[in-house]
A and B are shown apart, each in its own frame.
Chain A
């Protein structure tokens, strides 16, 4: 039993409040956690419905008088559509690319890029936030990657 509820019941027992007032107070107390949950649910829903991938970079070194700022916003739908574009590459061309990547020491297979695999990755990007903050003498770099 929560502390607030206990206090309400003690007040009722001490006849400081009527039964109706106690009922109203308890209802109000019960609503508070559900309001918080629905707010949290709304925030999660907003996050899940994130439409853009943002990359924000701010770099400063001693040689330039001002910082270099890069701000990129890419629709997540472009990533999804781009994956389908990979599937349009003919099989011999994909093999050629795979061989070239392997020669460079990159064990990456274009044939494994499928829309269903990437769909899950794009959905998980909704929860990704990367903050990188490097501060060295005369060199400062801030990188932020997130979905909105």
Chain B
């Protein structure tokens, strides 16, 4: 399943920590009509350059699916950034 949420937290120059939940599922829903609209053209372009469109879509889907569970945390004295993909 595609990642649904992302937590992004930032603290800059010893200021307060600011965190926000990003609803990635809304992003996928927003992108879906564009992807469906452009799919035939993308498929033709992929065929022209010698790639299998179905395989390409599947690989990209699997890469996005595999992003779930990714955590990146950077913490220093003055700055901190946290990104968690759920």
Contacts and interface: CB of A to CB of B under 8 A. Distances in A.
Contacts, number: 67
Contact of B63 (A85, A90, A91): A85
A90 B62 contact: no
A78 B71 CA distance: 12
Contact of B66 (A68, A71, A75, A90): A75
Interface of A: 51-52, 64-75, 77-78, 80-82, 84-85, 87-88, 90-91
Contact of B67 (A66, A67, A75): A75
A18 to B, nearest CB: 57
Interface stretch (B4-12, B30-38, B49-57): B49-57
Nearest to A69: B75
Main secondary structure of the interface of A (DSSP, over half): mixed
B27 interface: no
A84 B51 contact: no
A84 B55 CA distance: 10
Sorted nearest first, the 6 A-B pairs with minimum C-beta distance are: A66-B77, A78-B66, A77-B66, A73-B71, A71-B73, A81-B63
Contacts of B72: 71-73
Nearest to B50: A90
Given A74-B70, A91-B50, A66 B76 contact: yes
Contacts of A64: 76-77
Nearest to B67: A78
B42 to A, nearest CB: 13
B62 to A, nearest CB: 4
23 contacts: A64-B76, A64-B77, A65-B77, A66-B77, A67-B76, A68-B75, A69-B73, A69-B75, A70-B73, A73-B69, A73-B70, A74-B70, A75-B68, A75-B69, A80-B66, A81-B59, A81-B65, A81-B66, A82-B66, A84-B63, A85-B60, A87-B59, A90-B51
Nearest to B71: A73
A84 B62 contact: yes
Contacts of A68: 74-77
Contacts of A78: 63, 66-67, 70
